[in-house]
Structures are given as structure tokens and as C-alpha cells.
Structure 1
Amino acid sequence: MDRNLPAEVLIKRKTKFISGLILTAGLLVALTILLRNLTVESVHVNSVMIAKVDEGEMLITFTAAGKVVPLYEEAVISPVSSRILRILHQPGQWVEKGSKLLEIDIDSQQFEYERLKTEYEQTRNQHQRLEIDILKKEAQAWHNHQLLVKKIETLRIEHEHEQYLLSIGGISMDRVNKLTTELSTAKLELENSNQQLAYSKKITVLELESLKLNLNIHGNRLKEMEMLLTRARLEAPLSGTVSFLLNQPGASVAPGEVVARISDLSSYQVEAVVGDSYANQLLVGQEVLVRTGRDELKGQVAHIAPSVQEGVLNFGILLQDASHPKLRPNMKVEIRVVVTHIENAERIRIGEFYKGPGQYDLFVVNGNTAQKRKVRLGGASFSHIEVISGLNPNERVITSNMNSYSQTDKIGVKGNRDRVTGE
């Protein structure tokens, strides 16, 4: 029959077991720390970027993205619905202003033009005939008016003469009364003639204006068709390079469709976009730096889109050297929009870790170790970042991406400990 062990023995055994577990766990932790110190916790100076804190001029900027485009570019647009008959040039070719690029089917438009031209000529001839008729009627009315004026003058003279004869007893009163009646009637006719002549002039003006308006309507239709046929010739609007061409014979084109683009590749501008968070800091005329490879070009903001679209704001940049030899169409460029200048700023060279102003955990090199420190950084240019706080002049800091050491506060540094990248 088994006997129960005394309580003291059980407690001693349990204590011994727990102590063993604790000792084993401690050894494992120590071994892990030792292994990490031997492998992960050290970096070689040749494998990281190291910058020294110095003082100097800073351009505080924010980043934008951009694309190089020709400064002068025009689209050639089909004014009619048609189909392509012939391709006269190819993309990449240089063309002179006025060179025909494509030939499209415009037979129906040409027929319509001839019809409108005939209609215009008929209307113009009709206008001329009606104008002559109207002027003839007006001239006849004026002639009749003048005859009536002369008749009244003759009757007046004759009436005065008859009154004289009546006064000396040469004629009877009946003769004088008759002339008096004829003169009064003629005066009434003259008054009516004056009114008719005034009405006739107003009617003549209205009829001529109506004829002129009708003729202008037909003339404008003809001019519009002439302009449409001219645009349908699809000629180069400027001398330059064919950057795009719809080179598919037989393909259909719709009214308003772009069939070609002509670009002047001797000078360029930049189309840029920036996040909406910087929209309030962007101004027309603002200084801009554009990076093309190792070259840095100066420019200024030329225009800004009126509103933010899908979280970004579009703007255009004019370059001081728009004909720089490194510029190419559709080249992607990095842009720095200058916010302000600082004469004596504490700064470090820019590194891949930098994502914008804010607080960072950076490793500050001191001898053969690098200690993590919280550092507040400001704006940046292409080459430097402004140090707000957390670093002192002449201190050296690792500017490589150190995300793999996010759980480590201190690392070892191997190699030439005085090395500074870029010096």
C-alpha cells in the first residue's frame, strides 16, 4: 500500500522544478541576446548612409511629381464624321506648318458646300433685283411728288392772275372759284404724298435690311462650310514633330476626335501633381526645383487647377531653361516646390528614411555604437533635411532605412567610424 509523501518533500520538489524552469528560460534569453549581438545588432559603415549635422542654407520645400511635356503642342481634330483615306505622315516626322497630315473622305461636305454656294449666288442675285425694284418704286414716288409740287405752284400763280383779272372785271367769279378748288385739292394731294413718301422710305429701309439679313444668313452658312472644309484638310497648325497620328487607313473618325498632335520639341514645360494637403501652400509664381537625373532645373509655378481632383491638385511649371538637352517628352521628374529660405539651418543630408516633416527614431553614431534617439525634422530640399530638435552640430546619424532595427535601441558600428557619406 503506497504512502503519501510528506508535504515538506513535495514543496522542495516543486520549488526545485520551478527553479530549473526559470534557470532554463534565463539561459535561453541570454543565448538569444548573445546571438543577436553577434549577428543582427551590428552594422558596417560601408552598408549604411551616415550624415553629419552641419549648418548652412536650406530651401524648405515639399515634394511633387511631374511629367515633361512640350511647351507648344496642338491637337488636330476632325470636324466631321468620316473615314481615313490616306496617311501622309508618320509619328516622329518633322512637318512644316500647313502640311497635310491625313486625308479623310469629305465628298458629302464638298457637295453641301457647292449647294450652299449656288444657293448663296441665287440669293445674292435675287437681292440685287429686289433692291433695284425697291429703289425704282421709291424714285417713281419721289418723281410723282415733285410733279405735284410743280402743279401746285402753277395753280397758285394762275389763281393769283385770275384774282387780278376778277378785280378789274376781266373774268367771272366762277372761274376764280374753280381755280381755288383745284388749288385746295392739289394741296391735300401733296400732304398725302408727303405721308406716303415717308412711309415708302421706312418700308424701303426695312425691305432692304430684310434682304441684307437673308443674304448674310446664306453667306455665313457658306463661310462655315468653307471653314469646315479647311479644317477637314487636317493640316499641321505649327511646324514641329508629329507626336501622335491616327495612322489606320479606313478607320472611322468622329466629329471632335483628335487624329494627330504636333509638338515643338525644342522647348518643354512640366505638368505636375501634388497631394491635396499641400494645396494651400501652392501659389502662382512660386519657385520650383526640377530634378532630371543629376541635373537640377529652376522654374516657377505657371498655373494651378481650380480644384482638387481625386485627392491631387494639378499645376503647371515653366522652366528657366526650357530647352535643356536632357529634357524629353513624357520624362518623369521629381519636383521640389520651394516654401521658404533659411540662411543658417541645422541640417543633415537627405536619406531614404525621410517621408516628410515629423518625429523620427534615428541612430546617432558615437564611437563603435549607434544609439537610437528621437529627432524632429522639418522640411527638405533635394539634398538636405532641416533638423528641428534632437541632434547637435557635428553629430553623425545613420540616414539609411533602419526599419529592421525598430525593436533595437542600440547597435554596434563596424569599420571606419569617422566615415560620413557624401563628404
Structure 2
Amino acid sequence: MDRVLPKKKWNNKRITTVAGITALVLLISGSIYFTSGKSKLNVDAERITVSEIHKGKFQEFIPVNGIVMPLTTIYLDAAEGGRVEEKYVEDGAMMKKGDPIMRLSNTDLELTLANQETAVFDVLTQMQNTRNNSQENTISKLNQLADVDNGLKEAERKYKMNKKLYADRIIGLQEFQATENEYNYQLRKRRLADRVLKQDSVSVKQQLSQMNESYERMTNALQLMKKKVGDLVVRAPVDGQLTSMDAEIGQNKNKGERLGQIDVLSGFKVRADIDEHYIARIFPGLMGDFTLGDKVYKLRIKKVFTQVTNGRFQVDMEFIGKAASNIRRGQTLQVRLALGDETQALLLARGGFYQQTGGNWVFKMSKDGKTAYKTDIQLGRQNPDYYEILSGLEPGDKVITSSYENFGDVQELVLKK
């Protein structure tokens, strides 16, 4: 007789199905957990740098390279072109005002000077000849005038005598009129001689005046030419040190070409190159400092050169107080140039993290120091040592400031010692 067997509740098929569904649910749940939750990364604590947020004095400044230069520099340019014939001193020599440095030769200038001297000598000779001729002419005219005066006096004597004789009817009318005509002729002749003498005197004076003016102009031109030839000997314009001399014997130098410079050793200044990004924030009066040896020296911007070359512009800085005694021309200094006054701020040490985050977030340490999680922040001003924190962190917070290059997109770091 057949017997009804009870149906099994958990057969192999059902068990397999339930196990598959459970595995699928676990897989989906794990995926949701790991994709929606925080991704983590284990990090060796010894390979990171941790900095603590604190309040302190903050001053925005930028590091710039400065070159020590003399306070005053006089450039030596060739006033006239020529060939370098002789050098009296070498680069680096200490000079007194007027000391010769080098001698140039210029045949054209020397020939022009000789021609100018000849022309001046010719004008001077002409002036002397004209003066001599005028004197001789004046003497001749005076002699003629003396003859005319003598003839006039004789004619006047006869005229007066015959006039009386004619009035007494001793002589006739014809004889009287003859002496009268002679007297009038000699009188007109005297007036004419006097006019000729005056005109001749005026003409000679005008001629001599013109020649004097011409002589003065030519003399001035000669003096200028002598100065040009004299400038072929290059001399120190002031007391100082000769530097950057660029001239060798036999070398040809053009007019206006730089020959060297004289550094006046009365003091020093610092010329610094600054990135054009800061040009709107740089102005005379800004302070800077540098350390030399164990001492800190202060500088102040005196002049700003606004011309930008290759993305940079220059400033001249003067020393506040006494300059360093061991400083030398051409020495390079690392100057900290302050862009603002010193204030209190929340500070975060600079580090490699900024390259990956742009200063928008950091990994902030947990209280127990075992983990670090991503935190949004806002930075303000900066200097080579610190960033100014505007929001997102508080004093006492600890932040990983080393590079985040190997952290990827994780949200949390687990620190392993």
C-alpha cells in the first residue's frame, strides 16, 4: 500500500535560490555602502607632515632677489668716435675727478681742427690788413682835408680883401667875382671832403664790426672743435671707482658708445626684480629687509620703474640707517618685501597640499589623531611661511600640510603608525 510522503520545505533548489538572492542583496548593499559612504585610505603617519593652526602675527611679504649697486653711477660714453690709442688705467681703478682714463684718435677731427685754426688765422690777418688800410686811408683823407682847409682859408682871405677893395672901387667887378667864385668853390670842396671823411669812417667801422663778429663766431667754433679733440682723452667726471670698462687698444669706438662707468662710493642701493603680478601693489615707501651674517638690515623702496620687461619690473631700495660694512657691489641679496602692515591672523603653515587643493580644502585630523577627513576652507593672504585662514578651521586644529599627490579622491585617511 502506497504511503504519502511529506513534502520537504527546504529542498536543494530552494536553498540555492535563497542563497543567490541573499548574495545579490549583500552585493548591492555593499556597493551602496562603499559608493555612498566615505572612501578611506591607509596612510603611514611617518610619511606625512602635520601642522597645528594657531593665531599669530602675520605680514604679507614676497621674496625678491636684489643686486647691490652704488648709490650713484656716472656712465662714460664716447663724446667723439675714434680708435683707442692708449689706456692709462685698468678696470677697478680708483679715480679722481679729471684723471685720464684712455686716449682715442680721430684723424678727421684733428684735420678739421687744423683747417679751423687756419681759417681763424686768415680772418685775423684780414682784420689786421683792413685796419691798417683804413688807417692809411684815414690819414690820406685827413691830408686831403688839410689841403682843402688851407685852400679855403686862402680863398676866404682873398675874398674878404677883394670885397673891401671892390667896395672902395679899387678893383673891378670881374676880379672880385673871380675871388668870390674861388671862395665858394673851396667852401663846397671843404664840405664835400668832410662828408667823404665821415662816410669813410662809418664804412670802415661797419666793415671792422662785421669782421669782428665773424672772427668771434669762428673763434667760438674753434674752441668747440678744440673741446671735441680734447674729448678724445676720456677723463673721470667725478671721484669714484672705474668699473665695466669696455675698451682695448686698437679698438674703434663710435660716438655715444658706452666705454665704462664711474661708481661713486658714497653709499649703496639695492635694485630688485619683481613679478609684474605685484605691480599695482608696489609703491615708494614699502619696507623690506634681508639678513646678512647674524644681522637684519632694513630697506625702503625709493623708486619704482614701471616698465615691464619679460614679465618683471624693477625697484630701487635704499638702506634705512647704516648699510652693511661687508656689502659689495654686485652682491645678490634675498630681500623680504612687505606688502602690508603686520596684523593678527589665523595661520596655516605652507606646504605641498596647495598644489592639489588650490587652498580650497585640507585633510583635518580627528581628535584622537587616528584619522583625517576632508574639510573645506577659505584662504586669504599669504607669505612664504604661512597662509591666512578666513574660514573652515579653528585654533588648535591639526592639518596635514604635506603633498596630497598620492591620496587620489579619498574622503578620509586612516593613519597607521
Q: Give the TM-score normalised by structure 1.
A: 0.68
Match of residue 291 from structure 1 = 290
Aligned counterpart for 1:128 among listed residues 121, 124, 131:
124
In structure 1, what is the Cα distance between the partners aligned to 2:382 and 2:87?
Answer: 56
* Superimposed CA distance per residue, residues 96-119 of structure 1 (whole angstroms, 9 cap, x where no aligned partner): 447777x78x5x53x667656654
Q: Within 5 Å, give how 1:320-359 maps onto structure 2.
A: 320-321=320-321, 323-325=323-325, 327-328=327-328, 329-338=330-339, 340-341=340-341, 344-348=343-347, 351-352=350-351
Secondary structure (helix, strand or coil) at the match of 1:341 reads coil
Secondary structure (helix, strand or coil) at the match of 1:169 reads helix
Structure 1 residue identity aligned to 2:367: G
Change (3 A) 1:413 1:337: same
Unaligned runs of 5+ in 1: 1-7, 416-423
Structure 1 residue 180, shift from structure 2 partner: 0.7
1:206 and 2:210 aligned: yes
In structure 1, what is the Cα distance between the partners aligned to 2:76 and 2:305?
Answer: 24
In structure 1, what is the Cα distance between the partners aligned to 2:151 and 2:142?
Answer: 14
Change (3 A) 1:292 1:99: farther
In structure 2, what is the Cα distance between the partners aligned to 1:363 and 1:379?
Answer: 19
> Do the aligned residues in 2 keep the contact of 1:376 with 1:390 (CA within 8 Å)?
no
Match of residue 185 from structure 1 = 189
Structure 1 residue 351, shift from structure 2 partner: 2.9
Match of residue 275 from structure 2 = 275
In structure 2, what is the Cα distance between the partners aligned to 1:399 and 1:350?
Answer: 10
Secondary structure (helix, strand or coil) at the match of 1:273 reads strand
Structure 1 residue 250, shift from structure 2 partner: 7.4
Secondary structure (helix, strand or coil) at the match of 1:187 reads helix
In structure 2, what is the Cα distance between the partners aligned to 1:73 and 1:180?
Answer: 85
* Superimposed CA distance per residue, residues 379-410 of structure 1 (whole angstroms, 9 cap, x where no aligned partner): 64x76655545555x44564845443684565
Change (3 A) 1:123 1:399: farther
Structure 1 residue 142, shift from structure 2 partner: 4.1
Structure 1 residue identity aligned to 2:134: E
Match of residue 134 from structure 2 = 138
Structure 1 residue 304, shift from structure 2 partner: 2.5
In structure 1, what is the Cα distance between the partners aligned to 2:398 and 2:250?
Answer: 62
Change (3 A) 1:141 1:414: farther
Structure 2 residue identity aligned to 1:204: L
Change (3 A) 1:346 1:364: farther
1:172 and 2:171 aligned: no
Change (3 A) 1:259 1:399: farther
> Do the aligned residues in 2 keep the contact of 1:289 with 1:296 (CA within 8 Å)?
no
Secondary structure (helix, strand or coil) at the match of 1:324 reads coil
> Do the aligned residues in 2 keep the contact of 1:347 with 1:387 (CA within 8 Å)?
yes
In structure 2, what is the Cα distance between the partners aligned to 1:87 and 1:132?
Answer: 44
Match of residue 305 from structure 2 = 305
Change (3 A) 1:24 1:81: farther
> Do the aligned residues in 2 keep the contact of 1:66 with 1:333 (CA within 8 Å)?
yes
Secondary structure (helix, strand or coil) at the match of 2:165 reads coil
In structure 1, what is the Cα distance between the partners aligned to 2:127 and 2:15?
Answer: 138
Match of residue 52 from structure 1 = 54
> Do the aligned residues in 1 keep the contact of 2:298 with 2:320 (CA within 8 Å)?
yes
In structure 2, what is the Cα distance between the partners aligned to 1:289 and 1:27?
Answer: 56
> Do the aligned residues in 1 keep the contact of 2:88 with 2:100 (CA within 8 Å)?
no
Structure 1 residue 326, shift from structure 2 partner: 5.8
> Do the aligned residues in 1 keep the contact of 2:246 with 2:260 (CA within 8 Å)?
yes
In structure 1, what is the Cα distance between the partners aligned to 2:221 and 2:265?
Answer: 43
> Do the aligned residues in 2 keep the contact of 1:68 with 1:331 (CA within 8 Å)?
yes
Structure 1 residue 179, shift from structure 2 partner: 1.7
Structure 1 residue identity aligned to 2:305: A
> Do the aligned residues in 1 keep the contact of 2:269 with 2:317 (CA within 8 Å)?
yes
Secondary structure (helix, strand or coil) at the match of 2:136 reads helix
Structure 1 residue 331, shift from structure 2 partner: 0.8
Change (3 A) 1:280 1:163: farther
In structure 2, what is the Cα distance between the partners aligned to 1:24 and 1:390?
Answer: 32
* Superimposed CA distance per residue, residues 293-314 of structure 1 (whole angstroms, 9 cap, x where no aligned partner): 6754322222222533333222
Q: Give the TM-score normalised by structure 2.
A: 0.68
In structure 2, what is the Cα distance between the partners aligned to 1:71 and 1:83?
Answer: 30
1:221 and 2:222 aligned: no
In structure 2, what is the Cα distance between the partners aligned to 1:136 and 1:87?
Answer: 50
Structure 1 residue identity aligned to 2:377: K
